[in-house]
Amino acid sequence: MQEILSAWSGRLRAFSTSGKARTALIVCGILGVALLVIPELIPEKVEKTEVLTADDFICRTEKRLAALIGSIDGAGACQVMVTLENGVEYVYATEQRSNSDREEDTSDGDTRLTQRDDSESAAILIETDNGNKGLLVTEIQPTVRGVVVVCEGGDNEEVRARVSQAVTVALNISSKRVCVTKLS
């Protein structure tokens, strides 16, 4: 064991006295500094939140439903129309501040209790390159009011039932909100 240690010790001494050691140390130092500096030079990717409008939601939903219905046996070519109860809603983070005052007034021996509760709500803003933006907590998808499907197989009761069931399951709506009819 001692022979191995002395052999390594000799090699280490020989390496440290040569010019290779200084070169290796300088290269390691430069690499270390580069690893610390390079991440600072690369701009961070800013997550872009896609703003989804009600029209975008309708268009996407109609396309996806048309593809789904078109793959049902017997449905054939189809057109889909989706109507909404409301649009997309965005919920932003807010900071709540409440001031509660309680006062007791005595005049002529009568005690009167007055209580006032003032609360304020302010949006939490994040500073970005484009200016301040609200901190988005959640996005509430629109509620579907109804769906009309016009397809080639819409005159067949079995096809109508399968299409209606597919739409109600896909959108989590009742069958009363789905109309399936024949494409002319």
CB atoms within 10 A of CB 144: 20
The structure tokens 């090699």 sit at 11
The pLDDT value recorded for residue 165 is: 95
pLDDT tens figures, 113-149: 666 666 676 766 666 666 666 777 777 888 899 999 9
Q: Is 87 helix (H, G, I), strand (E, B) or coil?
A: coil
Token pair belonging to 47:
């997550």
Q: In the chain, where are the structural domains located?
A: 2-41, 54-88+141-182, 93-134
Q: Which residue has the higher pLDDT, 6 or 114?
A: 6
pLDDT of 79 over the 80 cut: yes
How do residues 52-68 score in pLDDT, each as one tens digit? 788 888 999 999 999 99
Q: CB 149: neighbour CB atoms within 10 A?
A: 25
How far is C-alpha 30 from the chain's CA centre? 40
pLDDT at residue 91 above 90?
no
- What's the whole-number average pLDDT of the chain? 79
Report d(CA 108, CA 60) in Å as an integer: 72
pLDDT at 36: 78
CB atoms within 10 A of CB 80: 22
Instruction: Count how many Cα atoms sit within 13 Å of the Cα of residue 81 in the half-sphere of its side chain.
Output: 6
Backbone angles phi, psi at 160, to 5 degrees: -60, -45
Q: What is the C-alpha to C-alpha distance for residues 128 and 147, in angstroms, rounded to an integer? A: 40
Mean pLDDT of 7-21: 68
Percent of the chain with pLDDT over 70: 66
Q: Which CATH number does 54-88+141-182 carry?
A: 3.30.300.30
Q: What pLDDT, on the 0 to 100 scale, is given for residue 113?
A: 62
Whether residue 183 contacts residue 152, with contact meaning beta carbons closer than 8 Å, is answered with yes
Question: What phi, psi does 137 have (nearest 5°)?
Answer: -95, -50
Higher-confidence residue of 167 and 48: namely: 167
As a whole number of angstroms, the distance between CA 14 and CA 8 comes to 10
pLDDT at 90: 76
